[in-house]
Structure 1
Amino acid sequence: MGKPVKKIWLDTDPGFDDWLTMLLLGSNPQIDWLGVSIVTGNAPVDITWDNALRIKAHDGLKVAIYRGCEQPLAGAIETAQRILGDSGMPTTGDALPPRAASDASSDAAGHAVDALIAAVRAHPGEITVIAIAPMTNIATALMKAPDIAGKIVEIILMGGSTDQGNHTAAAEFNIYADPEAADVVFRAGIPLRMFGLNLCRQLLVTNVEVARLRALGTARASMLAGYLEAYVRIRSPDGSVPMPMYDPVVALYLEAPQLFQFLPAHVAIELRGELTRGMTVCEFRVPRRAAVTTQVAHLADGPAAIELLMQRLSAILA
């Protein structure tokens, strides 16, 4: 007998590494993918939603995609466009084609928050939420329908850090972009599994992985290689410095949990610190100092995880 099928909902803000995550989830036979909610994050929601629909059309993903929240719960919009460009998805090669005007099948009616609430209520105690973006949609759903907190199996998130940040010295981008939303989610009593920067820095991609994609020789692989090359070059103009792989870590965990180790912790979100707003404050002295709220990923077999990623992409793009 095979592994049991896991029902999931993805909350995302594409983003190249979000694209990789979508490819992995869409090709995993042990996943029943119920929907995707899109939020402002790497770019404003007009752009991230369009990116998601273009990815869906290009790769033939069979999942409903819903447009979600435009603004964080509090404060101004914070995007990653100063690093990733206007599209949130830079490339050194051909860009994803625009959606055809006739491709109405990519559009899902209704707001992402309402769709998430409806899905959780329709499948109580069955859905795992995968969060790889600012958590505005999820927090808004929890505030609008508090009953769903007890119906979600777990939230698996890429966000936060046990040590330094990336968007600021203290804060990781997904949390910093809407710390009030993260605070709602971390206080909701839902089991949490956090993959922070400390973990993602153990999964490194380089020009070697770019070359492996190009060597597949297909048009889809060549296009994705251009995006991966631009992603690797975020850290250095020539791609010589290894780049952490962020969002796909959650999909790799679903497929190969044995590659990751966790520590129990109480995680709180800093909302008021002048220099630390958006910081994930991790208290590992549990339960002596605080109640456990989160399983925090702290060790990974990084080379094995990247090899799994490349093998899976090779199979998808061949």
Structure 2
Amino acid sequence: MKKTVIIDTDPGIDDAIAIFLALTSDKLDVKLITTTAGNQTIEKVTSNALKLVNLTGIKGIEIAKGATKPLIKELYTAEEFHGESGIGGVILPEGEQQASERTAVEAMKDLIVHSNENVSIVAIGPLTNVANLITAYPNITHKIEQISIMGGAYEGGNTTPVAEFNMYVDPEAAQIVFKSGIPIALFGLDVTYKAVLFNEDIEQIRSIGNRISDAAAEMLEFYAKGRTNGLPMHDACAVAYLIKPELFTFIPCNVQVETKGEFTYGQTIIDKKRLTDRPINANVAFEVDREELSNMIYASLKSF
């Protein structure tokens, strides 16, 4: 039976690859895509989500606009890596589908309440929408099978010396999610920096020659500028886990998010060595089968 899935996202180039991977999987039934400000503003990431789904030709997936900013702080974006549009210099065609009239949180709540099966959430942007859902509707969290999160790091950040981007954008939201009691699989920089595509992988994708692979290759080439150690597929990890969990090696840990530190704001404190008595609240990925993940992405893009 397919897993019923919500993708909460801020597309984003690696978000686009994750969305394509999810939509082509015969193990996932993506019912809803919700957007949150992060890599770019809410208007831009929602437009990107609509265009990406339109490009695939897949119909019937609701796309609902979510948080315009973090719970407390001002929005911090990643234009440097994802470009002014959020998806590099790629121009995608407009489709007929419009964003849902429902907010992201209302759409998530309704899907979870009315689903016959428990729902998995793939959270590959800042966790603002998920935190708002948990806060507004704590009585439905038992119907959330798990949350597969891209974010955080055990050792070192990519936005500050200690904070990863998604966690830094809204650490208050992230802390709410980690305290929720919902099962969590966490894919931080410790594993996503190992989940890389190399230039030859991007060339293979371009050689596929369909409209999806052409767009993906162009986005990836933009994303790869200035990188010499491969191109991390951060967000694809959170999707690939739901498709093929054996790709990853996990350590159960307690995870907290720093919301008060002067120099450590947004840091994930991952108790890998079990130095505290805080209870385990996440399975944290540390290793990945890079080659198999690359093969999955290639097969996904080729299948269009």
TM range (shorter): over 0.9
- Of the structure 1 ranges 203-212 and 121-130, higher mean CA displacement relative to structure 2 is found in 121-130
Q: 2:199 aligns with which of 195, 198, 207?
A: 207
1:313 counterpart (275, 282, 301): 301
Question: For residue 84 of structure 2, what is the aligned residue in structure 1?
Answer: 86
**Does structure 1 residue 19 correspond to structure 2 residue 16?**
yes
The corresponding residue for 1:136 is: 128
Q: CA deviation at 1:23?
A: 1.0
Where does residue 36 of structure 1 map in the other structure? 33
2:254 aligns with: 266
Alignment of structure 1 residues 107-256 onto 2, 5 Å = 107-123=99-115, 126-233=118-225, 235-236=226-227, 240-256=228-244
1:205 and 1:232 in contact (8 A); partners too = no
Asked whether the equivalents of residues 4 and 117 of structure 2 are also in contact (C-alpha less than 8 Å), the reply is no
Instruction: Quote the sequence identity (%).
Output: 31
Separation in structure 1 between the aligned mates of residue 28 and residue 288 of structure 2, nearest angstrom: 22
8 Å Cα contact 1:206/1:232 also seen in 2: no
Distance 1:124 1:167, change over 3 A: farther
In the alignment, structure 1 segments of 5+ residues that lack a partner are none
Distance 1:218 1:149 in 2: 40
Q: Whole-Å Cα distance in 1 between the matches of residues 214 and 183 of structure 2? A: 39
Judging changes above 3 Å, is the alpha-carbon distance between structure 1 residues 9 and 41 closer, same or farther for their aligned structure 2 residues? same
**One-letter amino acid of the counterpart of residue 9, structure 1:** I
Query: In the alignment, which residue of structure 2 is the partner of 1:65?
Result: 63
The structural deviation recorded for 1:273 is 0.9
Q: Please state whether the residue corresponding to 1:66 is helix, strand or coil.
A: strand
Q: 2:7–2:122: 8 Å Cα contact kept in structure 1?
A: yes
Aligned with 1:247: secondary structure? helix
The secondary structure found in structure 2 opposite 1:128 is strand
CA distances 1:112-141 after superposition (whole Å, capped 9, x unpaired): 111111111112761011100001111111
- Note the C-alpha offset of 1:310: 1.6
Q: TM-score, normalised by structure 1?
A: 0.91
Q: 2:292 matched to which residue of 1?
A: 304
Measured against aligned partners, the alpha-carbon deviations of 1:17-73 in whole angstroms (never above 9, x if no partner) come to 111111111111221212011010100101000011111111123311001110110
Structure 2, gaps ≥5 residues long: none
**Take 1:146 and 1:219, find their aligned partners in 2: how far apart are those partners?**
42
Residue type matched to 1:84 in 2?
H
1:264: how far off?
Answer: 0.6
* Alignment partners' CA distance in 1, 2:267 and 2:246: 28
Match of 1:95 in 2: 91
Taking a change above 3 Å as real, the CA distance of residues 180 and 125 of structure 1, as seen in their structure-2 partners, is: farther
2: distance between equivalents of 1:290 and 1:42? Answer: 32
2: CA distance between counterparts of 1:83 and 1:313?
Answer: 22
Contact 2:18 2:239 in 1 (8 A): yes
Secondary structure, in 3 states, of the residue corresponding to 2:161?
A: coil
Contact 2:247 / 2:289 at 8 angstroms: preserved in 1? yes
- Bigger CA drift: 282-291 or 293-302? 282-291
**1:150-192 deviation line (CA, Å, top 9, x unaligned):** 2211111011111111011111111110001001111111111
What is the distance in 1 between the residues matched to 2:106 and 2:51?
23
- Please report the RMSD computed on the Cα atoms of aligned residues, expressed in angstroms: 1.7
Cα shift at 1:207: 1.6
Matched residues in 2 for 1:257 and 1:287: separation?
27
Structure 1 residue matching 2:254: 3-state secondary structure: strand
CA deviation digits over 1:217-271, x for unaligned, max 9? Answer: 33432232111111111x33xxx44121110112222222111111010000000
Q: 1:186–1:267: 8 Å Cα contact kept in structure 2? A: yes
